């Protein structure tokens, strides 16, 4: 577990911290890649929705040369924790490339931890002996590092994607990681955080990631403990106590374990009201009633707007009452999602279409057939 | 020689208000009031009074009140008057003391030491007057396997479920312990509300088969009134392993309450005490319970959820875990405050544990073992108000059973003399002249009012917490804080103390 040096203040995971936020995403459905410059401008426009206590990005398609390897991004407190982690990694993975993360000095970004990146894949003998599938194995190793190695935290672990985050305003974090120069992806998501009190912890910034899944979230869910206590039955451990973390686990469980589609998942976590379901077609009624009856404890209640990123697409979803703003827009092959319209207009003033999806209505943008992942 | 035991309560009559109309005399089945010809006035024998307040409520000029008697033994902090009187009664009779309704003694009420959360600023409260607010719940197993048809559509593979419009049901009260009219009121109210009432172990009167869709029938150790049609008629079947008011023993129905109709419905002789066995004689262990559960499932074609009701005892979490693994769809847990029509006083007042603690442990244990999805949990045993329902759900319950509160709605004043069969309110009696005092047309309406009012209040409290569906409240213990509880109590309840952060 990695912690900043903040004296007596409680750390993320020791307290639950409510926060407001801004979220934003861009995807080029043709698969064409572009730098993080646009997403930085988008989230920067919504500067007032953040308070400088956390910002971050996820980029998809950014590591084409290493796309078959898991890309681990790590925060370290010091060289001891790095040494200990690398020993662990060497025991469990074949590391094909590693380096310190390239960053630039940016005013306002302080208390910077040591940041490293590794491209790796599981040692086949270890993997076979574990009796787990490859993804389970990777998740388990990530959890072990995060829970047990003092001063180390894996904050990104997917293939051909990466999460970049820290304490500061999101636009400064973006520049800090050189997202506007060094990386090109077909999809980007961004997050600016407005916690009401903060341990100022780099690992606590968003997006939250698990393998190639990333979540940026604006809101404060009122169902937190109901969701947490349920999902922890299935082997997840909500150690950060953030909404984002529990939402990620819920989606991961429904996709990987229960094999539901993203649309079905939306009907679980942001279920239609019973009265609305009553008015739907027989097929929809049957499906949505079943999902609500089967997964009542995974209904996520209270205000949220989330952008779920994965290899090949992004999904935007609001809570059932739409208690947080979120707009979607399209221009040719490009699709945009943002907390506010200004976050889209600033990078694309002329749009083919812009609309505000209803509460509980998922908006899913995926790469076209021809678009490469 | 019997020791005289002074009355605990005195009937006080305001002579100026009393018109001598005689209503009190006609209303009292205990013969307290009578007209004294020599003085031309109404008089009362307080020694016969059970303090049911029937006369007080019916007196047209409000001339009556009942007060606690100030007669006293020499004060003694160790030997209370109640304890002394019980010794006298047992020395008089040689009998086991009998009591009715729930444990009235001064034990902690944990619900009263738990406070709810509300949203401020960072998360908006939701206004139930202006936004939808959902209280419907489905009870039953949720451990579902996802299957699809050839077109990829999801198939409903869930075990049978009970749908409740609000997370409240009427708990088991048998025909025999309560009257025909009380049962009719409960059945009609359940039907109108979209919830369920429970026959208890007394069988189901033929007249009430038409309410079957809203009826839970019980199979208890005496197997009273159990037959194929009875099971077939019900929406769900409850196997009663225990009752909060008297864990470890069976049911008691005094012979004087076994009328012709009760005898027919229960399939037992008229006028003879019906005491069901302490255990089910086909269940001496958990694997036997599994057999009974599957016997009933076989008998009803796997179409109805099976509830297993247990009393909250010290090892309740492990027992519930065993029950959850035995095929039960729903576990009902009855706390030590739970009501009864008749129970040995010593058992009622000294056995079992509070429902709040039992619920918290059971929910946590089932989650620890990853089997919370294989059962729903219903709790009973002194759920006093909508706030208790909200707290129970946040601790982890799927729904609550209410018994005493429902009887209060029907007029009960908790005089705790159900076992005498002379209920002046027409509830816990089989005497035709008393039964007719409870008009089911009005009684059912009062029950509907009560549950409707509680549901409104539940919605208000949920909305305040920023929750618009009861599912998001279930097990949401961060919404709870203890006040004045010690560390062990907080640990058992799995909640933080008031003032501690989220």
Which residue of chain A is at minimal alpha-carbon distance from B156? Answer: A290
Beta-carbon count within 10 A of A325 CB: 17
- Write out chain A residues lying below 8 Å of B471, CB-based: 223, 226, 292, 296-297, 299, 301
Q: Is cis: bond before B271, omega within 30 of 0?
A: no
Q: Please give the C-alpha separations between residue B418 and each of B27, B176, B402, in angstroms, as whole numbers.
A: 17, 11, 17
- Write out chain B residues lying below 8 Å of A18, CB-based: 122-123, 502
- Residue reference for tokens 């309450």: B257
**DSSP one-letter string for B177-193:** TB-HHHHHHHHHHHHHH
- The pLDDT, as a whole number, for residue A9 is 52
B479/A225 touch (CB, cutoff 8 Å), yes or no: yes
Token pair recorded at residue B394: 């946040």
Token pair recorded at residue B168: 């409240």
A225/B476 touch (CB, cutoff 8 Å), yes or no: yes
The alpha-carbon gap from B473 to the nearest alpha carbon of chain A, in Å, equals: 6
Percentage with pLDDT > 90 across chain B: 97
Where residue A370 falls among pLDDT bands split at 50, 70, 90?
low
- The pLDDT, as a whole number, for residue A6 is 45
The alpha-carbon gap from B229 to the nearest alpha carbon of chain A, in Å, equals: 29
Percentage with pLDDT > 90 across chain A: 77
Contact, A164 vs A173, CB < 8 A? yes
Token pair recorded at residue A369: 């057939």
Average pLDDT (B263-268) is 94
Where residue A199 falls among pLDDT bands split at 50, 70, 90?
low
Q: Is A17's pLDDT higher than 70?
A: no
Which of B132, B154, B467 comes nearest A301 by C-beta? B467
- The pLDDT, as a whole number, for residue A3 is 53
- Write out chain B residues lying below 8 Å of A264, CB-based: 154
The alpha-carbon gap from B317 to the nearest alpha carbon of chain A, in Å, equals: 16
Which residue of chain A is at minimal alpha-carbon distance from B478? Answer: A225
The alpha-carbon gap from A218 to the nearest alpha carbon of chain B, in Å, equals: 11
Average pLDDT (B124-147) is 94
The alpha-carbon gap from B375 to the nearest alpha carbon of chain A, in Å, equals: 12
B471/A296 touch (CB, cutoff 8 Å), yes or no: yes
Whole-model pTM over 0.90: yes
Average pLDDT (A242-246) is 89
pLDDT in tens, B187-199: 999 999 999 999 9
Active site residues of A: 21
- Write out chain B residues lying below 8 Å of A323, CB-based: 124
Closest listed residue to residue A211, CA positions, set A148, A133, A263:
A133
The dihedral built from the CA positions of residue B94, B100, B102 and B104, taken in this order, carries a sign that is negative
Where residue A5 falls among pLDDT bands split at 50, 70, 90?
very low
B476/A226 touch (CB, cutoff 8 Å), yes or no: yes
Residue A60: burial class (beta carbons within 10 Å; 0-12, 13-18, 19+): buried
Report phi then psi at A161, rounded to 5.
Answer: -155, 165
The dihedral built from the CA positions of residue B463, B466, B468 and B471, taken in this order, carries a sign that is negative
The alpha-carbon gap from A103 to the nearest alpha carbon of chain B, in Å, equals: 34
The secondary element (H helix, E strand) that includes residue B229 is: helix B228-233
Which residue of chain A is at minimal alpha-carbon distance from B465? Answer: A222
Q: Is A19's pLDDT higher than 80?
A: no
- The pLDDT, as a whole number, for residue B370 is 95
Where residue A16 falls among pLDDT bands split at 50, 70, 90?
low
Which of B137, B144, B367 comes nearest A294 by C-beta? B144
Which of B136, B137, B466 comes nearest A302 by C-beta? B466
Distance separating alpha carbons of residues B12 and B32, to the nearest angstrom: 12
On whether any CB of chain A is under 8 Å from the CB of B496, the answer is no
Where residue A108 falls among pLDDT bands split at 50, 70, 90?
confident
The alpha-carbon gap from B498 to the nearest alpha carbon of chain A, in Å, equals: 15
B119/A222 touch (CB, cutoff 8 Å), yes or no: yes
pLDDT in tens, A139-191: 999 989 988 999 999 999 999 999 999 999 999 999 999 999 999 999 999 99
Average pLDDT (B275-290) is 93
Average pLDDT (A198-216) is 86
The alpha-carbon gap from A221 to the nearest alpha carbon of chain B, in Å, equals: 8
Least confident of A220-224, B63-67, B226-230, B291-295: A220-224
Which of B467, B475, B479 comes nearest A297 by C-beta? B475
Average pLDDT (A35-46) is 94
Interface with A, mutate which of B397, B469, B496, B500 (most A CBs under 10 A): B469
Where residue A21 falls among pLDDT bands split at 50, 70, 90?
confident
Q: Tell me the sheet residues that pair with A57.
A: A164, A190
Q: What interface predicted TM-score (ipTM) does this complex get? A: 0.91
- Write out chain A residues lying below 8 Å of B465, CB-based: 222
Q: Is A8's pLDDT higher than 70?
A: no
- Residue reference for tokens 């000029």: B61
Task: Give B94's Cβ-side CA count (13 Å radius).
Answer: 1
Which residue of chain A is at minimal alpha-carbon distance from B502? Answer: A16
Distance separating alpha carbons of residues B148 and B196, to the nearest angstrom: 32
Inter-chain CB pairs, A–B, below 8 Å: 119
Distance separating alpha carbons of residues A95 and A112, to the nearest angstrom: 25
Distance separating alpha carbons of residues B384 and B380, to the nearest angstrom: 10
Token pair recorded at residue B410: 């029907």
A300/B472 touch (CB, cutoff 8 Å), yes or no: yes
**DSSP one-letter string for A51-78:** -SS-EEEEEES--GGGTTSEEEEEEESS
Q: Is B433's pLDDT higher than 80?
A: yes
A294/B475 touch (CB, cutoff 8 Å), yes or no: no
Token pair recorded at residue B164: 């409740």
Percentage with pLDDT > 70 across chain A: 92
Distance separating alpha carbons of residues A76 and B367, to the nearest angstrom: 34
Average pLDDT (B250-266) is 93
Where residue A31 falls among pLDDT bands split at 50, 70, 90?
very high
- Write out chain A residues lying below 8 Å of B480, CB-based: none
Q: Any idea what DSSP says for residue B75?
A: P
Distance separating alpha carbons of residues A208 and A244, to the nearest angstrom: 6
Average pLDDT (A318-328) is 92
On whether any CB of chain A is under 8 Å from the CB of B431, the answer is no
Which of B158, B465, B469 comes nearest A290 by C-beta? B158
Beta-carbon count within 10 A of A100 CB: 11
B472/A299 touch (CB, cutoff 8 Å), yes or no: yes
pLDDT in tens, B79-128: 999 999 999 999 999 999 999 999 999 999 999 999 999 999 888 899 99
CA angle B413, B417, B420 (to 5 degrees): 140
Where residue B216 falls among pLDDT bands split at 50, 70, 90?
very high
Which residue of chain B is at minimal alpha-carbon distance from A269? Answer: B472
- The pLDDT, as a whole number, for residue A73 is 97
Average pLDDT (A264-269) is 96
- Write out chain B residues lying below 8 Å of A301, CB-based: 466-469, 471-472
Which residue of chain A is at minimal alpha-carbon distance from B479? Answer: A225
| Mean pLDDT computed over every residue of chain A | 91
Closest listed residue to residue A41, CA positions, set A175, A167, A162, A182:
A175
Contact, B246 vs B344, CB < 8 A? yes
Q: Is A29's pLDDT higher than 60?
A: yes
- The pLDDT, as a whole number, for residue A373 is 43
Residues 104-123 in B contacting A (C-alpha not used; CB under 8 Å):
119, 122-123
Interface with B, mutate which of A196, A267, A301 (most B CBs under 10 A): A301
């Amino acid at each position: 577990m990695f912690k900043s040096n903040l004296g007596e203040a409680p750390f993320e995971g020791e307290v639950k911290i409510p926060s407001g936020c801004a979220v934003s995403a861009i995807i080029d459905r043709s698969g064409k890649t572009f730098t993080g410059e646009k997403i930085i401008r988008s989230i920067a426009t919504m500067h007032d929705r953040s308070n400088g206590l956390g910002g971050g990005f996820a980029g998809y398609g950014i590591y084409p040369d290493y796309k078959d390897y898991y890309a681990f991004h790590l925060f370290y407190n010091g060289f001891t924790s790095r040494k200990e982690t690398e020993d662990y990694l060497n025991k469990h993975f074949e590391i094909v490339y590693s380096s310190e993360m390239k960053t630039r000095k940016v005013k306002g970004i302080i208390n910077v931890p040591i940041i490293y990146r590794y491209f790796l894949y599981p040692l086949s003998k270890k993997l076979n002996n574990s009796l787990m599938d490859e993804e389970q194995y990777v998740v388990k190793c990530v959890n072990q590092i995060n829970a047990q190695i003092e001063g180390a935290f894996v904050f990104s672990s997917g293939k051909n994607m990466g999460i970049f985050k820290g304490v500061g305003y999101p636009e400064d974090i973006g520049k800090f990681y050189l997202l506007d120069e060094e990386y090109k992806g077909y999809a980007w998501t961004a997050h600016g955080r407005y916690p009401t009190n903060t341990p100022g912890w780099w690992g606590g910034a968003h997006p939250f990631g698990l393998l190639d899944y990333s979540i940026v979230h604006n809101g404060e869910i009122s169902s937190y403990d109901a969701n947490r206590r349920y999902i922890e039955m299935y082997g997840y451990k909500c150690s950060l106590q953030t909404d984002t973390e529990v939402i990620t686990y819920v989606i991961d469980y429904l996709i990987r374990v229960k094999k539901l589609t993203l649309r079905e998942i939306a009907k679980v976590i942001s279920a239609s009201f019973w009265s609305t379901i009553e008015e739907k077609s027989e097929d929809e009624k049957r499906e949505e009633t079943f999902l609500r009856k089967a997964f009542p404890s995974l209904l996520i209640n209270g205000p949220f707007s989330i952008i779920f990123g994965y290899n090949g697409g992004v999904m935007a979803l609001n809570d059932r009452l739409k208690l947080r703003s979120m707009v979607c827009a399209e221009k040719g092959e490009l699709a945009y999602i943002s907390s506010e319209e200004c976050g889209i207009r600033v990078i694309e003033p002329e749009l083919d279409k812009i609309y505000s999806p209803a509460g509980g209505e998922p908006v899913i943008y995926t790469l076209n057939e021809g678009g490469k992942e | 020689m019997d020791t005289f035991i002074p009355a605990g309560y005195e009937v006080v009559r305001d002579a100026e208000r009393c018109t001598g109309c005689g209503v009190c005399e006609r209303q009292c089945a205990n013969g307290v009031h009578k007209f004294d010809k020599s003085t031309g006035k109404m008089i009362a024998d307080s020694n016969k009074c059970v303090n049911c307040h029937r006369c007080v409520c019916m007196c047209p000029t409000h001339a009556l009140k009942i007060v606690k008697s100030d007669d006293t033994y020499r004060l003694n902090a160790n030997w209370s008057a109640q304890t002394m009187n019980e010794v006298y009664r047992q020395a008089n009779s040689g009998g086991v003391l009998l009591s009715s309704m729930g444990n009235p003694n001064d034990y902690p009420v944990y619900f009263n030491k738990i406070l709810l959360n509300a949203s401020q600023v960072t998360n908006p409260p939701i206004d139930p007057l202006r936004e939808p607010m959902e209280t419907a719940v489905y009870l039953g197993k949720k451990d579902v396997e996802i299957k699809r048809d050839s077109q990829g559509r999801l198939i409903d593979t869930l075990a049978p479920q009970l749908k409740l419009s609000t997370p409240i049901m009427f708990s088991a009260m048998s025909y025999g312990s309560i009257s025909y009219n009380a049962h009719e009121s409960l059945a009609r109210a359940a039907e109108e509300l979209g919830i369920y009432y429970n026959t208890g172990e007394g069988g189901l009167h033929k007249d009430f088969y038409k309410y079957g869709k809203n009826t839970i029938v019980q199979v208890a150790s005496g197997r009273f009134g159990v037959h194929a049609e009875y099971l077939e008629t019900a929406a769900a079947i409850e196997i009663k392993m225990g009752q909060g008011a008297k864990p470890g023993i069976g049911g008691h129905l005094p012979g004087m309450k076994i009328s012709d109709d009760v005898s027919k419905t229960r399939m037992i002789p008229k006028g003879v005490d019906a005491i069901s066995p302490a255990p089910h004689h086909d269940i001496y262990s958990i694997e036997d319970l599994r057999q009974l559960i599957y016997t009933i499932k076989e008998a009803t074609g796997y179409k109805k959820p099976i509830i297993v009701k247990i009393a909250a005892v010290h090892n309740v979490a492990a027992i519930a875990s065993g029950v959850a693994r035995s095929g039960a769809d729903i576990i009902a847990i009855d706390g030590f405050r739970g009501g009864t029509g008749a129970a040995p006083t010593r058992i009622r007042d000294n056995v079992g544990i509070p429902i709040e603690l039992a619920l918290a442990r059971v929910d946590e244990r089932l989650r620890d073992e990853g089997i919370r999805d294989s059962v729903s949990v219903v709790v009973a045993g002194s759920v006093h108000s909508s706030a208790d329902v909200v707290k129970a759900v946040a601790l982890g319950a799927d729904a609550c059973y209410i018994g005493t509160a429902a009887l209060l709605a029907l007029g009960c004043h908790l005089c705790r003399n159900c076992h005498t069969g002379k209920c002046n309110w027409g509830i816990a009696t089989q005497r035709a002249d008393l039964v007719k005092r409870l008009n089911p047309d009005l009684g059912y309406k009062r029950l509907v009012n009560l549950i409707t009012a509680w549901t409104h209040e539940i919605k208000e409290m949920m909305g305040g917490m920023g929750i618009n569906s009861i599912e998001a409240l279930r097990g949401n213990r961060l919404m709870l804080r203890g006040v004045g509880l010690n560390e062990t109590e907080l640990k058992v309840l799995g909640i933080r103390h008031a003032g501690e952060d989220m």
